[in-house]
Amino acid sequence: MKAVFEYWPVLAQGLWVTIWVAVCIILGALPGAVVLAALRLSETRAIRVASMLLIELIRAPSAVVLLFWAFYALPLLPGMPRLSPLVAAILVLTLDGAAYGAEIVRAGIEAVHRGQTDACHALGVSKIQSFRKVVLPQALSQIVPGFGSLARSMIKWTAIVSFIGVQDVLYVANYVRGQTFDTLTVFCFLGAIYWILTALCGLTFRALEQLLPLNRALRAARASAHAPEIEVLTGAAQ
């Protein structure tokens, strides 16, 4: 553990970079996933096909290949900017997360029975209102758990940003290992860091699930259903 304590300031700085990248890509992927899912569910066939091709274009190659392409190859094209390592990493991982998240959002929306939307339209409710007040609250109970699992994976994706020079915790840990030759301690520390980060992410999304309107309604329904049984048991005991 001497290596960890001795180099803790630089390890802490690398950890902060990892956390910052993870938060940025998770928060950025969420609205991107919603937009791509909305395009996938468009009533216009051309938009549906174009969005599906875009999603598959992003998902098909490895994230490492996309990262290298954005950082090394993109500046070679005429008129294209040269991105900093941090910006390129956040941009690529956000797009990758949005592409994977789009299918989670789409599946969650399609899980809501279409009859509820038709009923809203029959009552004169606009599409936006029916989506916001009827479809989305029910779809979130399907979307949030799936996106929480994706978010945990996205935290682990951040390990590849060191390949283009972003000084995250993996980059710094490799530097410390090279200085101290204490490979076992450094990589045990690194594994523990990623485990803690993914566990905290899972707890965050789990708490978010408990706040969803549909989940709260289900808990209230279960509580009211069990209330008569509790009263009967209490009366029998007396």
Q: What pLDDT, on the 0 to 100 scale, is given for residue 236?
A: 45
Per the structure, how many domains does the chain have?
1
Nearest-angstrom CA–CA distance, 34 and 130: 16
Average the pLDDT over 148-161 and give the result. Answer: 92
Is residue 142 within 8 A of residue 184, CB to CB? The reply is no
pLDDT tens, residue by residue, 121-146: 777 777 777 777 777 777 788 888 88
Inter-helix orientation angle 136-157/8-40, to 10°: 140
Q: What is the dihedral of CA 43, 44, 46, 50, to 10 degrees?
A: -40
Is residue 93 within 8 A of residue 119, CB to CB? The reply is no
Domain of 7, in residue numbers = 2-237
Nearest-angstrom CA–CA distance, 83 and 75: 8
Q: Collapsing DSSP states into helix, strand and coil, what is residue 166?
A: coil
- CA dihedral (5, 154, 148, 152) positive or negative: negative
pLDDT over 80 (residue 220): no
Q: What pLDDT, on the 0 to 100 scale, is given for residue 114?
A: 74
* Mean predicted lDDT score pLDDT of the chain: 83
CATH of the domain at 189: 1.10.3720.10
pLDDT over 90 (residue 232): no
pLDDT tens, residue by residue, 64-99: 999 999 999 988 888 888 889 999 999 999 999 999
Which stretches of 114-212 are DSSP H helices? 114-122, 127-130, 136-157, 169-180, 183-211
CA 193 to chain centre: 18
A 10 A CB-CB count for 127 gives: 11
Q: What pLDDT, on the 0 to 100 scale, is given for residue 230?
A: 47
Whole-number Cα distances in Å, 208 to 112, 122, 205: 20, 33, 5
Q: What pLDDT, on the 0 to 100 scale, is given for residue 28?
A: 94
Q: What pLDDT, on the 0 to 100 scale, is given for residue 221?
A: 66
